[in-house]
Amino acid sequence: MIYLDNAATTKPASCLNELFSHYCTHTWQNPSALYLPAIRVEQKINAARELLKKIIHAPEAIFTSCGTEASNTIIFNGWQKHGASKMHFITSAYEHPCVYECFRLLEQQGHRVDFIKPGKSGIISPQSVAELVCDNTALVSIMHVNNETGAINDICAIANAVKEKNPQTLFYSDGVQAYLRIPFDMMSSKIDYYTASAHKIHGLKGTGILFFKKNVPLKAFLLGGGQEKTLRSGTENTFGILCFAEAAKDFLSNHEQKIAHMAALKKRLYELLKKANGAVCISPANAAPHILNMAFEGMRGEVLLHLLEKDGIYIATGSACSSKKRSFRVHESIGLSPVLSECAVRFSVCPDNTIEEIEYTAEKTISALQKFQGFIRR
Ligand code: PLP
């Protein structure tokens, strides 16, 4: 199998196997209990938290069930308490659905929401955000790396521009595709909230983390036993959390080489595919090292996906979570025509992919195009 859908999820790191048997034998007690073995579990959770915080110098963090829950917690943050009952929000039109759909709901509830389109550059400029900020802008949410195109937004510059206009406005960035792949220092930035998800960095599905600055408003989304400093009730997903930290530790070993390797794989794939008939690169030039989004005119993305699947190569047409209700919202926001959007595919690599896999993928893509390009539904 050649797995090139690492933006959808990553294979759990092999070092987690050993952790599993250790966890089942020694680290399974409820971390909220009062006896010593449980306290040790709690300590391990806190050590995992510290490790994950340190990577981006985040002041505070709580664990959640996924990146989606972390985004929902921030966006549905009890805004009525912080000012007028109707607030203003700014986000981008190409956010992941876990952000986009929350803002759509806030809009339906009567709040005002601006959805900024990045346009052809694929990147949100600080000016385009700052010019919309007003006195009652409660929250601005701009993603760090776009999950479909790999576009990297300069979130520190955007946050600076926002706070210059209104220091009371809070700033969130969805870092799920960026964490451990793009350098980021939360402490020195004006970013109030940032999120990541374990399964995107070779951890397990079902564990997310919400990083936040001290003293920013944060209202519990799940109520109950008061775990996670009362901010996220529910018995902690201990195994998922420990695996999250272990996967991050593993990713950090030879980190620079891993990032350079992913960038080299992506570059090679692009070099080979740009010569293909009707090739259009959708990813911006300086996109994240793991994501390459391209379209091949006259070949539907879904058809190419299934042709490659026959050769054991797994790619995506877009975001995995929207594949069942395919939407071209992201492509539309960067000015891509609906016809070309239908032809888009996403290749996303991880450090375990090899140059041979990439060359084989390019060869099979080109031969699929030669055989089937042009047979497109009109
Ligand atoms: N944000 C981005 C940019 C993503 O790519 C994803 C997952 O695809 C999420 C958020 C949601 O993360 P999770 O799957 O942990 O809910």
Confidence of residue 279 (pLDDT cuts 50, 70, 90): very high
> How far is ligand 1, taken at its centre, from the CA of residue 96, in Å?
7
pLDDT for position 216: 96
**Residue limits of CATH 3.90.1150.10 in the chain:** 2-11+254-372
pLDDT for position 24: 93
DSSP state, residue 199:
G
pLDDT for position 103: 97
Q: Which residues contact 246 (CB under 8 A, 6 or more apart)?
A: 13, 15, 16, 19, 203
Residue 321 pLDDT greater than 80, yes or no: no
Distance CA 283, CA 121 (A): 9
Residues 310-314: what's their mean pLDDT? 98
Is the Cβ atom of 187 under 6 angstroms away from ligand 1?
A: no
pLDDT for position 133: 98
Residue 83 pLDDT greater than 80, yes or no: no
> How far is ligand 1, taken at its centre, from the CA of residue 26, in Å?
31
Is the Cβ atom of 150 under 6 angstroms away from ligand 1?
A: no
Domain 16-252 has CATH 3.40.50.11810: no
Residues 236-240: what's their mean pLDDT? 97
Averaged confidence pLDDT in the chain: 95
**Residue limits of CATH 3.40.640.10 in the chain:** 16-252
Residues 58-68: what's their mean pLDDT? 98
Is the Cβ atom of 124 under 6 angstroms away from ligand 1?
A: no
Q: Count of alpha carbons within 13 Å of 215, Cβ hemisphere only? A: 1
Residue (of 8, 94, 96, 150) closest to 329 by Cα position: 94
| Atom number of ligand 1 nearest to Cα 70 | 16
Which of 65, 291, 321 most suits a substitution to test ligand 1, by most atoms within 8 Å of the C-beta? 321
| Atom number of ligand 1 nearest to Cα 319 | 8
Is the Cβ atom of 66 under 6 angstroms away from ligand 1?
A: yes
Is the Cβ atom of 72 under 6 angstroms away from ligand 1?
A: no
pLDDT tens, residue by residue, 1-33: 999 999 999 999 999 999 999 999 999 999 999
CB 331 within 8 A of CB 341: yes
Query: Which residue's CA is the closest to the ligand 1 atom numbered 7?
Result: 8
pLDDT for position 181: 98
Query: Which residue's CA is the closest to the ligand 1 atom numbered 9?
Result: 67
Model pTM score? 0.96
- The owner of tokens 């600080």 is 126
Q: What percent of the chain stands above pLDDT 70?
A: 96
Q: How far is CA 273 from CA 312, 318, 345, 358, in A?
A: 18, 18, 12, 10
Computed over its alpha carbons, how large is the radius of gyration of the chain? 21
Residues 206-219: what's their mean pLDDT? 97
> How far is ligand 1, taken at its centre, from the CA of residue 71, in Å?
9
Residue 324 pLDDT greater than 60, yes or no: no
pLDDT for position 322: 55
pLDDT tens, residue by residue, 111-120: 999 999 999 9
Count CB-CB contacts under 10 A for residue 271: 11
pLDDT for position 375: 63
Q: What CATH class is the domain 2-11+254-372?
A: alpha beta
CB 56 within 8 A of CB 194: yes
> How far is ligand 1, taken at its centre, from the CA of residue 68, in Å?
6
> How far is ligand 1, taken at its centre, from the CA of residue 227, in Å?
23
CB 200 within 8 A of CB 179: yes
CB 304 within 8 A of CB 314: no
Query: Which residue's CA is the closest to the ligand 1 atom numbered 12?
Result: 67
Confidence of residue 325 (pLDDT cuts 50, 70, 90): low
> How far is ligand 1, taken at its centre, from the CA of residue 289, in Å?
17
Distance CA 310, CA 103 (A): 39
Is the Cβ atom of 68 under 6 angstroms away from ligand 1?
A: yes
Is the Cβ atom of 98 under 6 angstroms away from ligand 1?
A: yes
Distance CA 247, CA 250 (A): 5
Distance CA 190, CA 161 (A): 10
Residue 323 pLDDT greater than 60, yes or no: no
Residues 169-181: what's their mean pLDDT? 98
| Atom number of ligand 1 nearest to Cα 321 | 8
> What is the secondary structure of 104-120 as a DSSP string?
HHHHHTT-EEEEE---T
Catalogue the active-site residues: 321
Residue 377 pLDDT greater than 90, yes or no: no
The pairing of beta strand 193-197 with beta strand 170-174: parallel
> How far is ligand 1, taken at its centre, from the CA of residue 67, in Å?
5
Burial of 193 from C-beta contacts in 10 A (0-12 / 13-18 / 19+)? buried
Is the Cβ atom of 175 under 6 angstroms away from ligand 1?
A: no
pLDDT for position 78: 76
The pairing of beta strand 208-212 with beta strand 170-174: unpaired
Is the Cβ atom of 96 under 6 angstroms away from ligand 1?
A: yes
Count CB-CB contacts under 10 A for residue 110: 9
